[in-house]
Structure 1
Amino acid sequence: MDSARRWAGVVALAIGIFVLITVEELPIGVLSVMAPDLGVSEGVAGLAVTVPGILAGAVALCTPVLVRGLDRRLVLVLALASVALSCALSVIAPTFAVLLLARLFAGVAIGLYWAVMAIVALGQVPAKHAARALTIAFAGAGGALVLGVPVAAWIGTHLGWRLAFAVVGIVAAGVALLILVLVEPVRSPVKVTGRMMLAAARTRGVRYALGLIALAVVGQFLTYSYISPVLLERAGVGLGDIGLMLLVFGVAGLVGNFAVGPLVRRSPPVAVLVVVTGIGLSLLAVLTVMDDPRRALAVMAGWGLCVGAISVAMQAFIGSEAGEVLEEATALNSAGFNTAIAIGALIGGLILDAAGLTPMILTSVLMVGGGALLVGHYLRTSRVPDPAASLNR
């Protein structure tokens, strides 16, 4: 029974990630209806993704130092409570400025949750089940792409974007209670300091992971943040069918989350290379062949398959390469990932408003391609000793 409860706790963590991804990407799905309602352009409305992402990155970076001996489970509960508050404020926001204020609470939530979730998941099960626990926990990200974002997008386009935020807020409150009941307390035996965070950032694997994030994740979200106008204008997809396209993307993402498991267990760096290369090729397809709804359906499926695997692959890469600085590296990974999402949305919005969709997508292709080359370089030089790895904690 104790074992069953622990695995149920891991599932609860996955549901929490489901909520976090949904609230993070919700503006992407309702961008085309939210922007005119609030009287701003789609590029400006993209700040609803950028602002919380930047804050999430800062919060994730500071979380291991701030929480120290605190039960990591309570950090997750606090994060979900912040989601509920963010959604409540979004529902009543009369202007875009107020919506951005509401999104600050979402940023805090994202940073807190992502910084400690992997550590809590690993703390629920024996070490031999670590890979399985991470796969299940991160399945919530794929689940959000399958169900959360498409359903929220459907609600937003058919019943109003404010109602979409309301539904997510209610779910967040319920999941907070679920985690409080099912998840075992997890405390770190190490008091993480700022100096330890800096030492972790200097280790070879973490350096490369952060460089990869700066290229591949920024490049991915530079275009994906504006997938609604891409589908509408380039592929001729109707406004009412955007939710379906996101659903296909999400189903494929959930498949990718589990399909990458065997490759992750064999070699996390190779898994990352395969996934990033797949994302780059998918973006190239968006640029070159996604010009009607049928082709859009196929491209979204292939793209989602690769994007759905990136969270598991990156966390496994961090876990295999970070050594004794796992918690610090996990926080750095989370901070980098969320900041990259924000920067991608910001750069994408600027390019979209200034030059249009084609230059925006082309920039994505070049950046993600650069990320694939970086991982390839890491693999080629992986036998070179890393002097920073021998630094004392």
Structure 2
Amino acid sequence: MQLSPPLTDSDSEPAVPAWSAVGAMTMCVALLIAAEFMPVSLLTPIARDLRATPGMAGQAIAVSGLFAVATSLLIPAASRRFDRRQVLIALTWAMLASLVLIAMAPSFAVLMLARALLGITIGGFWALSTATVMRLVPSEMVPKALGLMYTGNAVAAALAAPMGSYFGAIIGWRATFWTLVPLVLANLLWQAASLPSMPPDTKTSPVSVLGLLKRRHVALAMAGAMLSFGGAFTSYTYFRPFLETYTQVSVPQMSMLLLGLGLAGFAGTYGATMLLGRHLYALLRWLPLALGLVTLLLLGLGHHLWGVALALVAWGALNAAIPVAWSTWLTRGVRDAPESGGGLMVAAIQLSIMSGAALGGLLLDHLSITATLMGGAALLAMACLLVGNGRSLQAQER
């Protein structure tokens, strides 16, 4: 069943928005984020059951990021000849297969294979998501549609780890992953019913993912995005040791603080969506600076629980607004090649997340948690300086 009319090459921007299709993509995003980050709270039982060390189990999380980077760079070219509707549905089937493999994994090797398959879905879906949204709604509604999609991201980011921990203690880690399977099946049915046919655009010349870097404004934008995301994850990855050693919270208090941080993402996503139409470049400039200042504020308020709680709420809201802003930039900065631009952006974000986490760990091991948060703030300040007034990120008339 297909409720929405097909999009042809000459009708790449629909007159009527396909909000049901955007909703299906939002649900898929939430499930992807949940599947990616749920193991964070289940590392110990997974390691014990599969006879692996906690460090080895942690690598199962990292491997999905590595495959996401590779897929995001390759999928725009690999999928160019296929209907985007079929590609997105196929990627969702891959997510389903990965969840079943994780839940049934008899060994650590099978778990790694399943996580690699999940990484392919993450990289492919995110790389094509912005270009797909541009074909589902009229251009003036794209920021609103992207904001809706990132609401799914905020929901999963806020709830995946605490729900994983809760259900893992009650029904076990394997059954916890099984609970996602019927949700993915429901999402597949929703996608089949709502996603319109989106044939390949044969009227425009393909642009390679890495070839986009030859455009000065794209290269600068990728640098700005990497500094923004890298700075955020230099700090975010190590909030737990900060809260344990600096604020000295209990485990229940930490759970509530991190949940508050995640829930604040709803406000950040909504606020960014409302402002993007007229203030995109201002947001790209000032969001990372504000996030850096709040990161430093955490250090100043670090010994006061309620001060830290308020700062974490602000941090979560600002952090959630950044990906919405950069996704909207894609619709303007690389409008002629949104799929290749999406692949490049996903690769840049995944690489910056891994690099930021590595930098934060080095600063923590060799200096202190204070150095880690200051390092993250410094990268965020550099992002603000690089973006400037935004003129260097705007595509020149071609």
Counterpart amino acid of 1:204? R
Q: Show the counterpart of 2:86.
A: 74
Q: Show the counterpart of 2:226.
A: 214
Q: 1:317 aligns with which of 318, 329, 332?
A: 329
Q: 1:341 to 1:301 in 2, by over 3 A?
A: same
User: What are the equivalent positions in structure 2 for 1:53-72 lying under 5 Å apart?
Assistant: 53-72=65-84
2:248 equivalent to 1:236: yes
Q: Show the counterpart of 1:139.
A: 151
CA–CA distance in structure 2, aligned partners of residues 356 and 332 of structure 1 = 33
Q: Show the counterpart of 1:252.
A: 264
Contact 1:205–1:318 (Cα < 8 Å) also in 2: no
> Is 102-111 or 274-283 further displaced after alignment?
274-283
User: What are the equivalent positions in structure 2 for 1:1-393 lying under 5 Å apart?
Assistant: 6-30=18-42, 40=53, 46-93=58-105, 98-156=110-168, 160-190=172-202, 196-291=208-303, 293-349=305-361, 351-352=363-364, 357-376=369-388, 379=390, 381=392, 390=398
Counterpart amino acid of 1:220? A
> Is 107-116 or 81-90 further displaced after alignment?
81-90
Offset at residue 149 of structure 1 (A): 4.1
Offset at residue 293 of structure 1 (A): 4.1
Contact 1:206–1:318 (Cα < 8 Å) also in 2: no
**DSSP-derived class of the 1:267 partner:** helix
Q: Show the counterpart of 2:12.
A: none
Q: 1:193 to 1:102 in 2, by over 3 A?
A: farther
Show CA shifts across 1:229-248 (max 9, x none). 44334333333454433321
Q: 1:246 to 1:22 in 2, by over 3 A?
A: farther
Counterpart amino acid of 1:379? G
Contact 1:14–1:136 (Cα < 8 Å) also in 2: yes
Show CA shifts across 1:175-225 (max 9, x none). 222212221122331488885333322223321221023222122223323
Counterpart amino acid of 1:250? G
> Is 266-275 or 287-296 further displaced after alignment?
287-296
CA–CA distance in structure 2, aligned partners of residues 371 and 160 of structure 1 = 42
Counterpart amino acid of 1:57? V
CA–CA distance in structure 2, aligned partners of residues 324 and 147 of structure 1 = 36
Offset at residue 309 of structure 1 (A): 0.9
Contact 1:49–1:345 (Cα < 8 Å) also in 2: no
Contact 2:77–2:208 (Cα < 8 Å) also in 1: no
Q: 1:265 to 1:146 in 2, by over 3 A?
A: same
Computed over aligned residues only, the root mean square deviation of the Cα atoms, in angstroms, reads: 3.1
CA–CA distance in structure 2, aligned partners of residues 351 and 158 of structure 1 = 37
Q: 1:29 to 1:7 in 2, by over 3 A?
A: same
Count of residue correspondences: 385
Contact 1:46–1:345 (Cα < 8 Å) also in 2: no
Offset at residue 260 of structure 1 (A): 1.1
Show CA shifts across 1:251-287 (max 9, x none). 2101111101232111322111222123222322334
Contact 2:91–2:125 (Cα < 8 Å) also in 1: yes
Show CA shifts across 1:118-177 (max 9, x none). 222222223332222222222211222233444234334665444443333442333222
Counterpart amino acid of 2:62? T
> Is 305-314 or 74-83 further displaced after alignment?
74-83
**DSSP-derived class of the 1:290 partner:** coil
Q: Show the counterpart of 2:9.
A: none
**What are structure 2's unaligned runs of at least 5 residues?**
5-14
Task: Please tell me whether Structure 1 or Structure 2 has the larger radius of gyration of its CA atoms.
Answer: 2
Q: 1:33 to 1:114 in 2, by over 3 A?
A: same
CA–CA distance in structure 1, aligned partners of residues 367 and 94 of structure 2 = 36
State the TM-score, normalized to the length of structure 2: 0.84
CA–CA distance in structure 2, aligned partners of residues 215 and 32 of structure 1 = 32
Contact 1:122–1:130 (Cα < 8 Å) also in 2: yes
CA–CA distance in structure 1, aligned partners of residues 253 and 94 of structure 2 = 31
Percent identical: 27
CA–CA distance in structure 2, aligned partners of residues 333 and 175 of structure 1 = 25
Contact 1:139–1:254 (Cα < 8 Å) also in 2: yes
Offset at residue 352 of structure 1 (A): 4.7
CA–CA distance in structure 2, aligned partners of residues 158 and 191 of structure 1 = 55
CA–CA distance in structure 1, aligned partners of residues 137 and 311 of structure 2 = 37
> Is 199-208 or 9-18 further displaced after alignment?
199-208
CA–CA distance in structure 1, aligned partners of residues 53 and 299 of structure 2 = 26
Offset at residue 33 of structure 1 (A): 6.5
Contact 2:129–2:342 (Cα < 8 Å) also in 1: no
Contact 1:219–1:344 (Cα < 8 Å) also in 2: yes
